[in-house]
Structures are given as structure tokens and as C-alpha cells.
Chains A and B, each alone.
Chain A
Amino acid sequence: MSAWDTCRVCPRLCRDGCPVATGSAREAAVPTWIATTLHGWQAGTVSAEDAAASATLCTDCGACQEHCHLHRPVPELLRDARRQLVPAPAMTPLRGVDGAAQVVAVCADERDLAAVLESRLGQPVARLRTDDALGVAAIEHPSFDARASELRDRLAGRVVAVVDGGVARALVGARVAFRWAWDLVGDPAPDMVGSCATGGPRPLACCGAAGPLRRHHPEDAARVARLFAQRGDVERVADACCGEHLGWAGVSVRDWLDEALEALA
């Protein structure tokens, strides 16, 4: 029996959850069809090239898993397939934590999250910059286990604050506990459209510009982002990762950190 058998005969019941299938309108992006293609690759009837094109129609948002009443571990199976089919993106070495303070702000861009936290908490805050946003690319990278253990070592015993869903997902993968920065300073962020990582109201599970999709199918990633913006009437997002992705796709939004920095200035 193949891991994809149930999906192959399913009437594509996860389609409404999948942001890529919705935003790209491509039938090939419905997880059920990806499963069918990957089954064909395993059976020798589909080329590795087509299988790779199929397995990368994914933001790894996990919505298909949420929507599957038969509890097939689709995201995990897709991650495995991608590991076999597409070369891992380059990863920069993990930097050291800058400062010995109890609270560490982990940020994926140059904006100074630590400064916001210092002023709001009234105590020093250390910094950890991750150039590659950790994210799903990191989780799928063959070196992730080693990186996860490094992360655990560097952040052991500290309070970890994040504003970026990509970073948050990598921390979850590395089993490092963290707090959302807005929670830590007691700010509500509920009126902002949420992302897959932060929860909250969302027009699609993800704007689509995340993960393998943006690397391998940039036009589809931009399409998904545009539909996300149209459905959600988005002006503000909580999650910096969503903000970055939407910005990349040409949808200008402000995130929590933009507003917090503005208030600080």
C-alpha cells in the first residue's frame, strides 16, 4: 500500500483549506493531486521533474492536515518528498545571541524588535538575528536537526520573543518555547489579520508567498497573495513574516512591529 493511496481516491476534500490551490486556481496544486502525482513518481509513471514541480506547490501551512477527516499526515509526507526531490536552499550559519539579558528578541529582519521590547518592558533585551528567517526552508533542510540543537543551546533558560511566524515555526520544530512579542508586552493584536502561525481571522491559511512555493513557483505565490489581500481586505497584519511575504507580492501592509517602532519614535 502506498502512503498516498487514500488521497488518490479522495474527492479532493482538503481543497478549500489549501491556499495554493485556491489562489493559483491550479487543480495540480490540490494536495490530493499532488499525492496522485507523487504516487505516479513512486510507481515510475511520472518524471522526477514533474514530481518536484508538484511537491513544491506548497507553503507548508498545514491546512490540508487540518481539513483531512481521515487524518493523513499530508504536510509531513510532502516535506519528505521534497527532501528527495529538490535541492535544499542555502542556509547561513546561525549567529550568536547578542547580549546576556534574560529576554531574547529573535528577529528575521533588520528592524529593532529588541529596542521595542526594552522600552516596553523596562529591562535590557538581547538580540538574535536570523538572515534566512529560519522558516520552512530551515525545517526542510537536511541540517535542521543540528541547527535545532544549536538553537536550543543558545536560547536555553531565556525568554524568547518573536514577531515572525517563520521564526516561530522553526522554534516549534526545534522544540524551543517562545512568546509572541505583543503578548509579552500586553498588547492586543486581534484586529489584525492573522497568519497560519499566529491564528486569528484569516482569509486563506497563508498568503502563499511562504516556503517552497515562492522559491519554485513565484508567479503562483504572487497570485495567492493577491487573493489573500482581496479576500481579507488586509491593511494590517500581526505577523512580520506575513507582512514580508505580502510586501514581496506587491501588497503593502503594516505589521505590529512597524506600529510599535513608530510609537517608540
Chain B
Amino acid sequence: MSAPPAITVTDLVKVYGSRTVVDHVSMEVAPGEIVGFLGPNGSGKTTTIRMMCGLLTPDGGSGKVLGHDILRAQRAIKREVGYMTQRFSFYEDLTIEENLRFVAGVYGLEKGAVAQALADLGLTSRKHQLAGALSGGWKQRLALAACIMHRPKLLMLDEPTAGVDPKARRDFWDEIHERAAEGLTVLVSTHYMDEAERCHRINYISYGRLISHGTVAEVVAHAGLTTVILRGGDIVAAQKRLRGQPGVDQVAPYGTDLHVIGANGAALRRAAEAVAAETGARLIPAETGLEDVFIQLMGAAQDNMS
């Protein structure tokens, strides 16, 4: 018997006007797990997260977050969950310290919490600076510090590292993993592939529908794609020739390499071999990357819609 899941939602639906923005999304997240939430712009990630943390009322479906019903116990959820909004939504006309003090007061935290959070952030010397005057990356770090100050059991982070430099991003993920090891559960939306690969599991949503989930390896395997690389020769000509060939779904140049990806492995290899011979390139079999899978999924979802 494993511990009860931190998040378990079934068939969440959200409709805006005539558009179904979230369409029967079900998800389960175990305690201590770091789960990535991926999908193209406008696919419904933010909307789904908002429904799970009690900020939006679902038009359909049900579920529990930390054992609290998402339809009835929204206040209990808000107390135990840390939610970091996609857009910076702390007060720009308050200083860093005042913002943190406000959060500490609302959650009823003890006196030292603000000083501790400032020290952790490395912002103690700049605590009197207005939050609005911080750079984009520092705003993100302030927001993150503020939403973990009350020691939530579950973090829902909506693109927490957008605009953050690589070093800070690395630090951020190290910290997330440390906390997860202590039992914190994290649901994080992101557009970065390297971040997706640092998650225990990922969920991929497109046009409001959850279309793939599992570990990164599972998602890649499940996509069933074949990838070959054309190296050397006339890349530009090869790219032109390969576009639209049977079996070729994606053609993407990477420096002097050309990645060719398709769902139909046999057809793909036939086309690639022919073009490689024509343009004088070497043909190298390769692993399919997560990004290629997502691009494939986006294309497929678009086909479904039309």
C-alpha cells in the first residue's frame, strides 16, 4: 500500500464561452514526486493548475488535492499548497521585505520566517528595494521564495524559470530535488526540455487534452518515432528534398547535422537513404529526443482539431 496521492483529479473540464479549454484531464501525482506539465502555448496548463489549487471552479470533473476536495475544500487547499503564478503577481509597489512580510502574516508564520527567506534568497542587503525594480529573473526568485515560505506540502509552479539564467535555473532545480527528497510534491509547468528531463514524470497536454504521460523514456518510447541524422554533404539541398517525402514528418537542421524524424520507420529510412546518397551525406541512426516527440504530438493534435 503506497501513500495516498498528493493530487488525483479525474475528467477536469473548463469551458470559456463555446471553447472547451480543458477537456477531461485526469492526473495523478504521488507524494514526493516531481511532475512536469508540458504543452504548447494556450493548451490549458495554467487553467488546469488553477482548478487544482482552488482558483477556478471546474465545469466538470472532480478530484482531491492533498486529500481535500477541489470543489468544496478550496480554502484548505490554499493553506497547504504553494502556488507560483505564471505572471509575477506580488506587489510591485511594496519592497521585497514588505511582500514577504505580507505573505508571512497571511499564513500566520512566526517572526523569523521573513528574515530566513531573505537570507535564503541572498536578498537581505536589498530587502528595502521595491519589488517592481527587480529584474525579471529576480522577480521569479522572489515569487518562488514567497510561495515556499509557509512550507507547503505541495508546490504548483507555473513556468517558474521563464527568463531565469542557467545558473539560477540549475540552483532552482537542485533545490526542488532536495525538497522532494524531504517529501515535498511538485507539479511544474515548463517549456524547457532539459527541465522536463529532470522531472520524475511528465504530462503532456495539447488543446486541453492530456495526450501523453509517464517517465521521459516512456513518453519517448510510446511515441514510437524513428530518428536518423544526415551528416555532411549538402544539408540545404537535403532538407529541401526530404520535406514532404513519405515517412518524413520532421526535418530539422542542427549545425551541420540534419535530424529526420518520422512515425513510419521503414518509409523514413528509405527516403533518408535515397537523399543521403544524392547529397553525399552520411546516415547515422539516433535516439529520438523529447522535443521531437512533443513537436510530433503538437502536429498530430492540430490534425485532430481540423
The answer to whether A and B assemble together is no
B contacts, CB < 8 Å to A: none
Q: Which A residues have a C-beta under 8 Å from some C-beta of B?
A: none
